[in-house]
Amino acid sequence: MKLIYLHQYFKKPSMNGGVRSYEFAKRLADSGHEVVMVTSDNENEFSGWKSEKLDGFEVHWVSVKYDNSYGFLKRLWAFFKFLVLASIHICSLKSDKLYVTSTPLTVAIPALIYKLVKRKPYVFEVRDVWPEVPIALGVIKNRILIQVVLFLEKLAYKNAAHIVALSPDMKNSILERCGNTPITVISNAADCHLFNLSLPSDDMFLKKLNSIRDKHKKVVFYTGAFGLVNNLRSLIKLSSFSDGEIGFVIIGQGKEEYDLKEYAKELSVLDKQLYFLSSVNKNQLSFVHSIFDMAASTVLPINVLYANSANKVFDAFAAGTPLLINHGGWIKSLIESSNCGLVINNDPTVNDYYILKDFLLSEESYERACAASLRLGENEYNRERLFERLLTVIDEEAR
């Protein structure tokens, strides 16, 4: 089958960011499908489309500058530019089907145009309950605009041949508004083969990690975006209760970075109990999980955010790293049923810190959580197992 895979923010393994689309596109190509990834280059400026061969499939790039620090209007312009250019491009390609992944929701527009012009089906992958999140956050306030985006969401779901949701909570959210299209849950995945690798002896980044590790008995770390929804103030506040035995590291970038560092200074924890490091690629991420002790995933106390399927959670499972979260939802239920980590209050107290400290310093509890986390990565959330589910969706919809 000739398959177009539309993902505005596609990343290669050498880049910083999630590689779900890369891993699935590679496997689709290995299974005999002819795959073309259509995406954007957010850093380099050039005219027209550039293409490259990558592990059995093609990648078509168009220049669309974008950064997490962009405000609403600049983001909107990036979304609009990509949807126009991508719509024209995918309709010019020979194909049998489109696999389109959000966010942003605006990728639904090229999908709808593709279906109308090419008379071919599309599968719609929902990575986030957007626009529910920006509406809940108050980012989208205009009543007319809210109705427009909700209509677009419903239109995207209704016209899809199949919907792929990244969590059971996302599936339930979609069913509330559009229950007629078949939905399959395929969460983010654990790539166990990318973790627990041998460590180089002379790597500068590894030396930086070890210099932090040497100052504390145990280290909790966060990797990802520094955005409003990520609620990293919760982790910074938690670090303020530490007497130094437990260290905290925040790795990544985003528009909240300056404010977060100022908050850490206010609490007198910056470069003492808590450290900031720049974004890392997958190889460096393996080092982080090998050197540090517990991965954290935090969000604001807003129910729609609890449906998330964050890459950092499944990276923890792949590495056998215990998980710390500050929210409810399906991940909380998973932690409680599997004993792979801890759930603390969204607004942490000193009691939360002592629960965390006791957990990390208890060899029995900690090792049990490590084993439980790795079992989840090797079994239920293993990439190969989830890909078989995706292949069933693709092949079933081909008939």
Across 68-160, the runs of DSSP E, i.e. the strands, are: 97-101, 122-126
pLDDT value at residue 399: 39
285-304 per-position pLDDT tens digit? 999 999 999 999 999 999 99
pLDDT at 398 over 70: no
Residue with tokens 């205009």: 142
Which of residues 374 and 14 earns the better pLDDT score? 374
pLDDT value at residue 161: 95
Which of residues 13 and 373 earns the better pLDDT score? 373
Structural domains of the chain, ranges and CATH numbers in brackets: 2-189+383-398 (3.40.50.2000), 192-378 (3.40.50.2000)
pLDDT at 204 over 90: yes
Is the C-alpha dihedral spanning 200, 204, 206, 210 positive or negative? positive
Beta partners for residue 354, in sequence order: none
SS3 content of the chain, % helix, strand, coil (to 5): 45, 20, 35
Supply angle C-alpha 31, 37, 40, rounded to 5: 160
Distance CA 169, CA 312 (A): 18
The mean pLDDT value of the chain amounts to 93
57-99 per-position pLDDT tens digit? 999 999 998 876 677 778 788 888 999 999 999 999 999 999 9
240-271 per-position pLDDT tens digit? 999 999 999 999 998 899 999 999 999 999 99
pLDDT at 348 over 80: yes
Give the count of beta carbons closer than 10 Å to the beta carbon of residue 25: 26
